[in-house]
Amino acid sequence: MAREGVEVETGRDPQAAVIWLHGLGADGHDFEPLVPELVQPAERALRFVFPHAPMRPVTLNNGYVMRAWYDIIALDRRTTEDEDGIRASQTLITELIRRENVRGIATEHIVLAGFSQGGAMALFAGTRYPERLAGIIGLSCYQLLAGRFAAERNPANQATPIFLAHGTQDPVVAPVLGEATCRQLQAAGYAVEWHAYSMPHSVCPQEVADIAAWLRRVLP
């Protein structure tokens, strides 16, 4: 399942990759149109990997079957989380990273990114990964299994740059969840770059420009 998705290479023989996880109910095509805005034609070649999440029933949406990295019962910090689904998607992300390794891209040249549910998975898997990544991007998301973070985080990515962004008018994932995630990571000593934008649960042009600039720094 980890190999199902969309790939875009911005040039010949890319030596770095961005693995980008979509949000609930979307698919790997969701952020594909952003690639030309993230990498200019004269810049270094990157491989963008946009995997499709597995199809599964989602409790929050009345059990409707859709692409989801894990089941969601409610978006708050009190409801039981789908740990089995989260761990299964963590395994899929590991497969994606290892696949890039086999194709010649070192882990330290891979950025793990995601939006909403995908961003939550990028943070979860990235901070626990046993090899250093180039960076982690979490957009409009939150911390999964936050109570396990201190015990499970891997020192390999302690110094990895993290880009977090959230819309101040987000009606889906409350801004306080993103802010709490940022505080938890900063308190643990992570290098977090935080951005807040006047937008709902989406992305905006300034955010895309900021991500492009950040990618140039972590994948020079």
Task: Tell whether the model's pLDDT for residue 1 goes beyond 90.
Answer: no
| Mean pLDDT for the chain overall | 95
Phi, psi of 28, deg, nearest 5: -65, -15
The residue-averaged pLDDT of 182-202 equals 97
For 201, the token pair is 């649960």
- pLDDT for 104-154, tens place per residue? 999 999 999 999 999 999 999 999 999 999 999 999 999 999 999 999 999
Are residues 64 and 26 in contact, defined by beta-carbon separation less than 8 angstroms? Answer: no
Q: Which of 109, 124, 100, 103 is nearest to 51 (CA)?
A: 100
Phi, psi of 14, deg, nearest 5: -65, 140
Residues noted as catalytic:
116, 170, 201
CA-CA distance, 140 to 143, in Å (whole number)?
A: 11
Distances (CA, A) of 57 to 62, 85, 133, 192: 8, 11, 31, 33
Cβ count within 10 A of residue 41: 7
pTM: 0.96
Superfamily of domain 5-218: Alpha/Beta hydrolase fold, catalytic domain (3.40.50.1820)
Report the pLDDT value the prediction gives residue 3, as an integer from 0 to 100. Answer: 54
